[in-house]
Structure 1
Amino acid sequence: MSSNAKKAVLYRIVSDDHICPFGVKSRDLLKRKGYDIEDHKFTSRDETEAFMEEQGVETTPQTFIDGVRIGGYDELADYFDESTGKQTGTTYQPVIAVFATTLLMALAASWAVAGAIVPMTVLVWFVGLSMCMLAILKLRDLFSFTNQFITYDLAGMRWVRYAYIYPFAEALAGIGMIAGILMPLFGAIAFIIGSIGAVSVIKAVYVDKRELKCACVGGGSNVPLGAISLTENLMMVVMGALMVAGIV
């Protein structure tokens, strides 16, 4: 080991039943910054608690550089002026991830089936895939989704069971779009739920001026109810109308 190498001392939990993810991230960050690491691994709860009591800290991992305690992973990231990647506050990241992925999926599927990018096919599959993926996110925790949904959706506020039906209807309409079967039926479903959703968002956000979280990607999300939520619903309305009219 070079005497001029940058050195850091890391204390983290690595036991049979738990490997601290922040310890792994701290080690990776130190390695990327060119540090030689003296890696101390706690294999039991007793070892960990003894260390925390000795250092007067409440959490591990703990990193020391040049004999100075930097702290946990968040403090280490701050020390190097690096982002932790942690989501805080409101964010559109989940919705952007869904729409970007489904658009690429639609483009890939069009190329695989037709050997070319067919705009109308891509559009239909994009909307259908987006609806299916959003429905999956809602169905992964239906209880939490409904708790958030019924605070602003006009139909859900009047009839709570609609909130439980909604993600199934969304998935069904999306599957119908992708399959290209019974288009008037599935188009009508998309048009109805999209219209109710659009009116609900307009009333809650633009008329009542309420600051709410959107349940579009499932309950507990930090996606703000607003323009993106309205766009999602208008996509369903437009595509539903085109399907009912037989244009797609």
Structure 2
Amino acid sequence: MTRDTNSTPKTAVLYRMVMEEHVCPYGLKSKDLLEREGYAIDDRPLKTREETEVFMEEYGVETTPQTFIDDERIGGYDALREFFGQDVKDDDETTYQPVIAIFAVAFLMALGLSWAFYGSILTLRAFEWFIAISMCFLAVQKLQDVETFSTMFLNYDLLARKWVRYGYVYPFGEALAGILMVAGALVWISAPVAFFIGTVGAVSVFKAVYIDKREIKCACVGGGSNVPLGFVSLTENLMMIFMGIWMPARAMGLF
């Protein structure tokens, strides 16, 4: 529900939980949003569980906060966002935001390291750091909940389907390879690990997406992600393949 707020009085009534042991975060967000939209707020805190239950029973609602404008109940925080014409994401909506955040921060960190060590952001080492740091960040996402990651991973990874424990090993291998590549150390360990898991991953993703035409979620940023399997995961694996070849070749002086 949306409305032209310029045609309505700038007043709102807000019921929200404000207790000693709990202050509702969505109530604070609703209050902040109303203030930013120029509304004067009649703030009516619900200070006890009993008071909250009486309010919810009276208005036939199951949650707080609840906002009223012109004696009309708008609803909770998401409903208020919709009222003001803002996007509200569905829990199952696909998004690339986690990946964009990871790659953007990794890129900026790589430039920062290059500037600190070499006095310039345009260095070959910055490119290597970018990929290595990205690998570390992606591994951290998986390591937050290895069990959930491994379950999602089984949807498409060919090796994990043959050897289930590989889904538990993968994030540790990616983290190990990324850390060693950031340090530029033990290339004889990091390169084979990155090349192996990258190759298996690339083949698995290519088969699932481009041959089998399956539409499933990617486990690349952890088991709870809504990132679709495809270009992002394939890019992650191709980066590891590249580093698995590039790092030993550079160590041998071929580049």
**What interval of TM-score do these two structures reach, taking the shorter chain for normalisation?**
over 0.9
Pick one of 59, 71, 80 that aligns with 1:67: 71
Question: What is the count of residue pairs matched by the alignment?
Answer: 245
* Partner SS for 2:218: coil
C-alpha displacement of 1:78: 1.5
Alpha carbons of structure 1 residues 84 and 19: separation in structure 2 relative to 1, 3 Å: farther
- CA offsets, 1:84-113, max 9 Å, x none? 466641111111110111001100111111
Alignment of 1:1-248 (within 5 A): 6-84=10-88, 88-246=92-250, 247=254
- CA offsets, 1:173-211, max 9 Å, x none? 001111111223211111111000000001111111111
Preserved contact between residue 70 and residue 79 of structure 1 (Cα < 8 Å): yes
RMSD: 1.7
Higher mean alpha-carbon deviation, 175-184 vs 122-131, is at 175-184
* Partner SS for 1:245: helix
- CA offsets, 1:62-96, max 9 Å, x none? 11112222211122112111234666411111111
C-alpha displacement of 1:118: 3.5
Higher mean alpha-carbon deviation, 180-189 vs 100-109, is at 180-189
Unpaired runs of 5+ residues, structure 2, are: 1-8
Alpha carbons of structure 1 residues 86 and 15: separation in structure 2 relative to 1, 3 Å: farther
Counterpart CA distance in 2 for 1:85 and 1:160 is 33
Preserved contact between residue 131 and residue 171 of structure 1 (Cα < 8 Å): yes
Unpaired runs of 5+ residues, structure 1, are: none
* Partner SS for 1:24: helix
Identity percentage over the alignment? 59
Counterpart CA distance in 1 for 2:197 and 2:203 is 10
Counterpart CA distance in 2 for 1:237 and 1:139 is 21
* Partner SS for 1:121: helix
